[in-house]
Structure 1
Amino acid sequence: MPTFEEITAFITDKPLATAVITLLSLVGLVLAYLVLRVAWRALTWLVARYVAPRPIEDVLTVVAASIATGVSAQGMWRFSGDVLGLDGPLRLLLFAFIEVAIITSAVRARRNMRENYSAGIDGIAVWALTCLTAVLSSMDAHSLPEAIFRLAAPLVAAWLWERGMAIERHRIRGTGRINWRLTPERLLVRLGIAEVSDRTASEVDAHRRLTRVALAAKQAKVLREGGAPERKVRAALAKLDKAMDQAVEHTGLAVDATRQEALLAQIAALYNTSALIDADPRVPWEPHADHHPVPARPALPPALAQLVDEEDEDVEILDPNPQVVDTAQRAVLMRASREFWDRQIAKGIVPRTVDIAQEIGISLTTAREYRSLWKLEPQAHALIEALYHQHGIVDTGTFPVIAADGRVLTKS
């Protein structure tokens, strides 16, 4: 570095050259300032556009994946020079072709996720190319730790990308990943180290002791009824007695009614296992002979054959206690009546006039007025037709009114 005296001598000897150098330096400083200003504005715009709206974990994922990709590219730089023998501009152009392909596949996979809700073949390509560059860069390592490090760096980048894609998938589709059958939690449960439910340790211990009692009781019963030797029966009874003693001591079985019922329920289930052979569970949608598509009321007496064919609207109903309500209250009662009607129709039951009146608390006249309008709707009309064709019941609005002695009360 020139000394101060040398600089002073140069300025004195060559003032013109000094002026030119000073001018060029000022221009360079101005250009550097402008470049830095443009770069700062571009960086600020990029941060505001792409970084600020994203969660911090996404930003950190991109940063970490970029660092890992750089480590992988450095390994490929050495591999292309030492193994492939590339040098100069050719080495600079070709060393990171796999990393570029990985980034391209990752971008395409994200686009596929947003458009088709699946990463597709590009997602598989990311992992395949990552494993390829990891293996190639580790082949030029000079030691085992370096090889492991070069293997790990690309895989870390791929894992971070996969986690980002999982978050993106959940955000777009509203669903999580697949549920793996082999997980650490399942292994711990299988080994008996962890519990599936959120029961406390005392509850788990009590359940297991009660189960031991129930199983010991079943074993003793089977041996005794099967004519086993007396020695085996005594051993089974001794095992049952020991399990019962421990259950009473550690579970409070003698005073806990809930656990007593649980023990009896387990014993009852174990004793009646053979009854499962004769069980005849029906498929809910399986048709059978006694199936009625339209639920009917309880069995009606033979007097139903004497039903009249007139409609309920032709029967005169005298209401000794007519209701006097205002418009708002009438609207509330009508809305409640309609809700009750819809609930019953959904169950496959056509409400009677008296049913509506008793349920809502309105007069028979008002209930008959509502029913005469609503029974003409398609769903209610279909139920009434089904009742007529299946049971011969004519809709009179009362289905019908039957006296205590079994006589059918009809319009005289």
Structure 2
Amino acid sequence: MPTFEEITAFVTKQPLATAVIALLTLAALALAFLVLRVVWRAVAWLFARYVAPRPIEDVLTIVAASIATGVSAQGMWRFSGDVLGLDGPLRLLLFAFIEVAIITSAVRARRNMRENFSAGIDGIAVWALTCLTAVLSSMDARSLPEAMFRLAAPLVAAWLWERGMAIERHRIRGTGRINWRLTPERLLVRLGLAEVSDRTASEVDAHRRLTRVALAAKRAKALREGGASERKLRAALARLDKAMDQAVEHTGLAVDQARQEALLAQIAALYNTSALIDADPRVPWEPTADHHPVPARPALPPALVELVEDEDEDIEVLDTTPQVVDTAQRAALMREARAYWDRQISKGIVPRTVDIAQEIGISLATAREYRALWKLEPQAHALIEALYQQHGIVDTGAFPAIAPDGRVLTKS
């Protein structure tokens, strides 16, 4: 580099040349400023057009995929020189033909996604060409770690491209991903190792123990009504007693009113499953505005209507006030009511609400609740249907009973 004294001497000896050099320098600086300004504007336009509207994850995906593609292209550069023997301009023109094909297929796949909502054959071509370039570039590696690295780089680029396509597919279609039927969560639930709901372990255990009691009671009742042998009935009662002991011990059934009601609800549901075959639910799209269904049963005679309206109010009940009893006493009253109901049904008489209330000494509300559950059982249901078919009497809970000789009775 010339010193300051040499520059001063040159300016003194060659003033014209110095002026020309200064003008050329100023022109070069002005040209460089203009070029930098154009480049800056171009970069700013490209950023505002292609980068700014995209989410940050898409931008990072493009950057990472470009780096991985560069690594793959560098491996193909070495492969074309060492294996294919290409050199000079020929090597420069041909070394990255697979990478160019990958980019072309990726662009075509994205266009197919926007036009046909599917990547099509070009999406498959991206993965096929990526695997090809990964294998070829790794074959010229000098060590195993280098081979693994050259294998991984193109696959990483393809994976990032696939994830970007999945996001765009979701954005275009407006649909989510599929729900796999075989997932770890579903397998754990299937094996009984996980719960679908957010119940605690104690709640799940209590529910299962109460269900065991209800199922054991249903089994014992079915054997008794089916006339099973004494041995089978005794075994069923033993299982019921064991399940009840475990429920009382582990669920607090003796003092927990909510679980007592839950157990009674399960038993009621299991005992009356046969009533489901007579259910007639209405479909939600059935017209209701101008729909006038024909009554399924005829209206009651005036005398019977008066009897039904007045009977529950006129008959004296032993306990007309709301009863407050403990769990044991309530269970004893329910057993007595059930025994009375079974006796009357065996005689061919369907007890009325007031009959149950008078016989046991319970309120009308409690008797009506018991009767609503028990009248759905097959034997009682058959008697109620016979009353309707023979006498046209609709069950209201207070209809008169029918004697064996066909007489209508107002008292049991």
Equivalent AA in structure 2 for residue 65 of structure 1: A
The residue aligned with 2:172 is 172
Cα deviations by residue, 1:364-384 (Å, 9 ceiling, x for unpaired): xxxxxxxxxxxxxxxxxxxxx
1:239-388 aligned within 5 A: 243-263=243-263, 296-298=293-295
Change (3 A) 1:19 1:63: same
Q: Distance in 2 between matches of 1:265 and 1:152?
A: 62
Q: Distance in 2 between matches of 1:243 and 1:175?
A: 49
Q: Rate the CA distance shift 1:61–1:207 in 2: closer, same or farther, 3 A.
A: farther
The aligned length equals 294
For structure 1, which segment, 43-52 or 28-37, has the greater mean C-alpha deviation from structure 2 after superposition?
A: 28-37
C-alpha deviations, 1:167-190, integer Å up to 9, x for none? 222222221122223334334444
How many angstroms apart in 2 are the aligned matches of 1:251 and 1:2?
100
Inter-CA distance 143–2: structure 2 relative to 1 (3 Å threshold):
farther
Q: For residues 90 and 66 of structure 1, what CA distance do their matches in structure 2 show?
A: 24
How far apart are the structure 2 equivalents of 1:123 and 1:87? 33
Give the C-alpha shift of residue 26 in structure 1.
4.5
Matching residue of 1:131: 131
Distance of 1:184 and 1:7 partners within structure 2: 81
Q: Aligned-pair distance for 1:159?
A: 2.3
Contact 1:113 1:119 survives alignment (8 Å): yes
**Which secondary structure does the structure 2 equivalent of 1:177 belong to?**
coil
- Residues in 2 aligned to 1:267 and 1:140: alpha-carbon distance in whole angstroms: 76
The CA deviation at 1:60 is 1.9
Show the 5 A alignment for 1:5-404: 25-213=25-213, 243-263=243-263, 296-298=293-295
| Partner SS for 2:177 | coil
How far did residue 236 of structure 1 move? Answer: 7.9
Q: How far does the alpha carbon of each residue in 1:320-344 deviate from its partner, in whole angstroms, 9 at most, with x for none?
A: xxxxxxxxxxxxxxxxxxxxxxxxx
The corresponding residue for 2:398 is none
How far 1:25 sits from its partner (Å)? 4.9
Amino acid at match of 1:69: T
Distance in 1 of aligned mates of 2:219 and 2:13: 117
Amino acid aligned to 1:86: L
Are residues 5 and 65 of structure 1, via their aligned partners in 2, closer, same or farther at CA, if it must alter by over 3 Å? same
CA contact (8 A) 1:11 1:18 kept: yes
SS of match in other structure, 1:207:
helix
**Which amino acid in 2 is paired with 1:151?**
L
Q: Shift of residue 140 of structure 1?
A: 2.7
Given residue 186 of structure 2, which amino acid in structure 1 is its aligned partner?
R
| Alpha-carbon contact 1:68-1:153 (below 8 Å) kept | yes
- Which whole-Å CA distance do the structure 1 matches of 2:23 and 2:34 have between them? 17
* RMSD between aligned residues: 4.8
Q: Distance in 2 between matches of 1:40 and 1:56?
A: 22
> Which has the larger displacement, 218-227 or 63-72?
218-227
For 1:139 and 1:122, the matched residues in 2 are separated by: 26
How far does residue 68 in structure 1 lie from its aligned partner after superposition?
2.1
Q: Find the residue that maps to 2:86 and give its secondary structure.
A: coil
Distance in 2, matches of 1:235 and 1:4, equals 118
Cα distance change on mapping 1:199 and 1:59 into 2, 3 Å: farther
Matched to 2:85, the amino acid is G
Amino acid at match of 1:97: F
1:277 and 1:187 mapped to 2: Cα distance? 34
Q: For residues 195-240 of structure 1, give each alpha carbon's deviation from its aligned partner in whole angstroms, at most 9, with x where no partner exists.
A: 3333344433433444455566678889999999999999987776
Within 1, Cα distance between the matches of 2:195 and 2:254?
27
What amino acid is the match of 2:293?
A
Equivalent position amino acid for 1:71 in 2: V
Task: Work out the CA distance in 2 between the residues paired with 1:300 and 1:191.
Answer: 50
Deviations 1:80-127 (A, max 9, x none): 233333222222222222222222222222222222222222222222
One-letter identity of the residue aligned with 2:172:
I
Q: Distance in 2 between the 1:63 and 1:167 partners?
A: 17
What is the rounded CA distance, in whole Å, between the counterparts of 2:237 and 2:297 in structure 1?
56
Q: Give the letter for the 2:147 counterpart.
A: A
Q: Tell me, in whole angstroms, the C-alpha distance in 2 between the residues paired with 1:284 and 1:158.
A: 51
Contact 1:253 / 1:260 at 8 angstroms: preserved in 2?
A: yes
- Amino acid in the other structure paired with 1:185: E
SS at match of 2:132: helix
Q: 1:26 to 1:284 in 2, by over 3 A?
A: closer
Instruction: Tell me if structure 2 keeps the 8 A contact 1:69–1:99.
Output: yes
How far apart are the structure 1 equivalents of 2:146 and 2:195? 42
TM-score where L is the length of structure 2: 0.55
Offset, 1:59? 1.8
Indicate if the aligned counterparts of 1:214 and 1:267 stay in contact, CA closer than 8 A: yes
Q: Distance in 2 between matches of 1:56 and 1:79?
A: 35
Separation of aligned partners in 2, 1:36 and 1:148: 42
User: 1:46 Cα shift?
Assistant: 1.0
CA–CA distance in structure 1, aligned partners of residues 221 and 138 of structure 2:
68
| Residues in 2 aligned to 1:246 and 1:3: alpha-carbon distance in whole angstroms | 105
Counterparts of 2:259 and 2:104, CA distance in 1: 63
Residue 30 of structure 1 and its aligned partner are, at CA, apart by 3.4
Aligned partners of 1:235, 1:84: CA distance in 2, in Å?
A: 86
Counterpart code for 1:166: A
By how many angstroms is 1:151 displaced?
2.6
Q: Following TM superposition, by how much is the alpha carbon of 1:45 offset from its aligned partner in structure 2, in angstroms? A: 0.6
